[in-house]
Amino acid sequence: MRTPASGPRGGSVIARIPDSCGDPSWEESRPDDNLQIRLGRLRRRYPAAMDLSLPLLLADRVGVFVFALSGGIAAARKEMDLFGVLVLAFLTAVGGGTLRDLILDVPVFWLDDTVSVGLCAAGGFVAFFLSKPLDAFRPLRWADAAGLALFSVAGAAKAAGLGHSFVIVLMMGTMTASAGGLLRDVVANRVPLLLLPTELYATAALLGAGVYGVLHFSGAGEGPAFAAGMAAAFALRAAAIVFKWSLPKAKG
């Protein structure tokens, strides 16, 4: 498969990712081509996304790091030690994807992806030492919104690529983007933010997965479905941040 990626002068270069990129013999034949190996691993993580490129790889890495930061900051608020901060950073960043893969009965994605594990650790260490200034750093919310958009559609795409129904696609997309935060709050011994009347979060993930699913099952193509799903999720989350949108709460 041929994949466009950004070139050093703003143009594009062509990176070839063979369908057999999971074959160990291929990786051994290209031991120095780390970018190709990582793109191959990313393609295995999101098998339904047929137009993977370097920007998507970078967005995935940024998303993992930002989610790890948010988990580490939550641990710091509870005055946890370094180990606790690292645990919550890891749970927040990859917890949703781990649950998704276990439910879908496929290998957990980070077992052969040391970069994601390293980014979780890096996010935890940064949060441990810089939790107070980071807690007030508003641009992190926008980076988190972008990570939410990517992970929701990526989770949906993985389920779709494995042949699951629209309902399962919705569930896996929402879980990938938001279950890590749920695990974080449970371990931190607080009511999960997803269950409180705060700004729309899981709803944005659900929308992104839904838009992707509708376009995927209508045959619109994976590239447009992926892009539209991410745009929808990010737009709703951004609007929720700006206008403080939330779902109606129950009246007891």
| Cβ-contact 104, 158 below 8 angstroms | yes
Q: How far apart are CA 212 and CA 3, in angstroms?
A: 20
Please check the confidence at residue 189 and state whether its pLDDT lies above 60. yes
Please check the confidence at residue 9 and state whether its pLDDT lies above 60. no
Q: Which pLDDT band, with edges at 50, 70 and 90, does 102 fall under?
A: very high
Report, as an integer, the average pLDDT of 147-171. 95
Poorest-pLDDT segment among 11-15, 90-94, 167-171, 199-203: 11-15
| Cβ-contact 48, 160 below 8 angstroms | yes
Q: How far apart are CA 161 and CA 188, in angstroms?
A: 34
Q: Which pLDDT score is estimated for 104? A: 96
β-strand 2-6 against 12-16: which pairing, if any? antiparallel
Q: CB-hemisphere CA count at 13 Å for 81?
A: 1
Q: Which pLDDT score is estimated for 159? A: 94
Poorest-pLDDT segment among 39-53, 103-117, 188-202, 229-243: 39-53
Q: How far apart are CA 96 and CA 102, in angstroms?
A: 10
Residues 6+ apart with CB under 8 A from 140: 66, 69, 70, 134
Q: Considering only residues 188 and 53, tell me which one the structure prediction assigns the higher pLDDT.
A: 188
The string of pLDDT tens digits covering residues 14-27 is 333 334 344 444 34
Could you list the beta-strand ranges (E) of the chain. 2-6, 12-16
Domain chopping of the chain, boundaries: 54-243
| Cβ-contact 201, 112 below 8 angstroms | no
Q: Which pLDDT band, with edges at 50, 70 and 90, does 59 fall under?
A: confident
Q: Tokens 């376009």 map to which residue?
A: 215
Residues 6+ apart with CB under 8 A from 223: 50, 51
The string of pLDDT tens digits covering residues 42-58 is 566 555 444 445 667 77
Distance, CA of 204 to chain centre:
13
The string of pLDDT tens digits covering residues 118-127 is 999 999 999 9
From first CA to last CA, the distance across the chain in angstroms is 56
Q: What angle do CA 25, 29, 31 make, to 5 degrees?
A: 110
Identity of the amino acid at 199: E
Q: How far apart are CA 78 and CA 62, in angstroms?
A: 25
Q: How far apart are CA 104 and CA 180, in angstroms?
A: 17
